[in-house]
Structure 1
């Protein structure tokens, strides 16, 4: 299963969700609230290999 760290308004993750669906891949989403800086928190940084957002 693929884990997609997602902001629902982001066009990049929308395209990723669409591509995963079209490819028939199993995936789960983990919402990330950028205005609350959740992407800078310890829990998020521990879950990903690189800290910068694409």
Structure 2
């Protein structure tokens, strides 16, 4: 999914239990390698990824 120029991909996290992880790639193609949070659904992972992107853009302004 694209959001504000970023790419959000959700993955299952069966290695550490049931859940979903959002992988973020910024508009320049750089993958975010920061801390990751396992969430109970792909929708919640996308929701919090969008919140992170909004926060990141706000900090840069």
TM > 0.5 fold call: no
Structure whose residues are more often strand by fraction: 2
Structure with larger RCO (C-alpha < 8 A, sep 6+)? 1
Q: Normalising by structure 1, what TM-score?
A: 0.32
What is the TM-score normalised by the length of structure 2?
0.29
Q: Larger helix proportion, structure 1 or 2?
A: 1
